[in-house]
Each structure stands twice: as structure tokens, then as C-alpha cells.
């Protein structure tokens, strides 16, 4: 399974998927409430975090594409998307840093394994 594939990219893809699912589940359930004010607050919070969720989810998809297709460019796109996601919502930037680092390491390893010219 790991022949000519970066292990760092695999770990990064798993962590990115877990984080993206966490965001979707946490903020998706915040709009469901019986109290109108609480539901409105949850809807506003979800609206603020939605760009971060979209960019992070796209980054996770690109990490998996980079791993399964053995393409270094996809890993690079995923790492860049995570950098953008960290800048979009700075409060959760600390949670993105491990995936950013692993994404760039996975990109470099995948590039060396395949001899890609990106």
C-alpha cells in the first residue's frame, strides 16, 4: 500500500479528514436548537466558519488525491489550501499547523519518491 507513497502524506490526510469531519459535525449541529436566540447564534457562528470549513475540506480531498494518485502537486495544493484556511479563520490556525507541516513534508517526500517535476 505504501510503495512509492509518502507516509507523512497519509498521516496528514487522515488528520485532515478527522479535522474536516469535526468542523462539519460541530458547526452543523450548532444550528439545531429549540431556543431562537441560541439557533441564531449557531447560525451566525456557522456562517463565519463556513469559508474555513470549505477550504479545509478541499485541502483534505487534495491530500487524499495526492496519496492515492501519487501526485506531488495534489499534496502541494492541499498544503496551500490549509495555509489559506488557517489565514481565513485565525482562531483555529493552531489546529491547522500540524497538517500544514505534514502536507509540505509529504509533498517533498512524494516529489522525491516519484521524481515529479512540479
Q: What are 9-57's pLDDT values in tens digits?
A: 999 999 999 999 999 998 877 667 778 888 888 888 889 999 999 999 9
> In 3-state terms, what secondary structure has residue 29?
coil
- Please say whether the beta carbons of 66 and 74 come within 8 A: yes
In Å, what is the CA distance from 35 to each residue of 2, 25, 39, 49?
50, 20, 6, 21
pLDDT at 4: 78
pTM above 0.85, yes or no: yes
pLDDT at 50: 93
Amino acid at each position: 500500500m505504501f510503495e512509492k507513497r509518502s507516509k507523512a502524506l497519509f498521516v496528514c490526510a487522515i488528520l485532515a479528514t478527522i479535522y474536516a469531519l469535526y468542523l462539519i459535525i460541530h458547526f452543523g449541529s450548532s444550528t439545531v436548537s429549540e431556543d431562537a436566540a441560541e439557533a441564531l447564534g449557531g447560525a451566525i457562528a456557522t456562517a463565519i466558519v463556513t469559508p474555513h470549513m470549505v477550504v479545509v475540506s478541499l485541502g483534505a480531498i487534495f491530500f487524499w488525491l495526492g496519496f492515492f494518485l501519487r501526485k506531488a502537486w495534489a499534496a502541494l495544493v492541499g498544503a496551500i489550501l490549509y495555509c489559506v484556511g488557517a489565514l481565513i479563520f485565525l482562531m483555529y490556525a493552531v489546529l491547522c499547523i500540524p497538517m500544514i507541516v505534514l502536507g509540505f513534508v509529504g509533498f517533498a517526500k512524494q516529489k522525491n519518491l516519484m521524481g515529479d517535476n512540479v
